[in-house]
């Protein structure tokens, strides 16, 4: 991971923590993929993809979360849930988009296929 990516993930973790979220994992890796941040937002387990960009051209950070990337995140999330004994009421997939002049949370950024979770 490059320096911009690491800095973006740290910025996203601070951004979410300031909103009362509890960060459970950073850079959770499994054979099928990696999840930047895993957090609890109240009783919701949230899998967060962080996209930091120097500019918003070509669709900005959110455009980089392709359907293939979403599938890998969902598969990794399923492994995480299966391997942990956590109490939560629901699961959500969010994206934190970071540009030089703003940080934005896209809640419910995508819904994985029903067969994943």
Domain ranges, ordered by start, for the chain: 3-106
Q: What is the rounded average pLDDT for all residues in the chain?
A: 87
What kind and span of H or E run contains 4?
helix 3-17
Model pLDDT for residues 95-107, shown as the tens digit of each residue: 999 888 889 999 9
User: What's the confidence (pLDDT) of residue 76?
Assistant: 96
Model pLDDT for residues 9-28, shown as the tens digit of each residue: 999 999 999 999 999 999 99
Tokens of 1: 């991971």
> By CB neighbour count within 10 A (0-12 exposed, 13-18 middle, 19+ buried), where does 87 fall?
exposed
The counts of H helices and E strands in the chain are 2, 5
Strand order through the sheet with 33-41: 22-30, 33-41, 44-52, 90-99, 102-106
Instruction: Domain 3-106: state its class.
Output: alpha beta
Q: What percent of the chain has pLDDT over 90?
A: 63
């Amino acid at each position: 991971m490059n320096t911009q990516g690491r800095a973006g993930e740290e910025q996203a973790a601070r951004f979410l923590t300031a909103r009362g979220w509890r960060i459970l994992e950073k850079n959770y890796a499994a054979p099928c993929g990696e999840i930047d941040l895993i957090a609890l937002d109240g009783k919701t387990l949230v899998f967060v993809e962080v996209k930091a960009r120097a500019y918003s051209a070509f669709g900005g950070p959110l455009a980089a979360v392709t359907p293939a990337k979403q599938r890998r995140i969902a598969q990794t999330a399923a492994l995480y849930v299966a391997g942990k004994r956590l109490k939560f009421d629901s699961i959500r997939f969010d994206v934190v988009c970071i540009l030089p002049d703003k940080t934005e949370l896209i809640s419910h950024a995508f819904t994985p296929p029903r067969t994943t979770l």
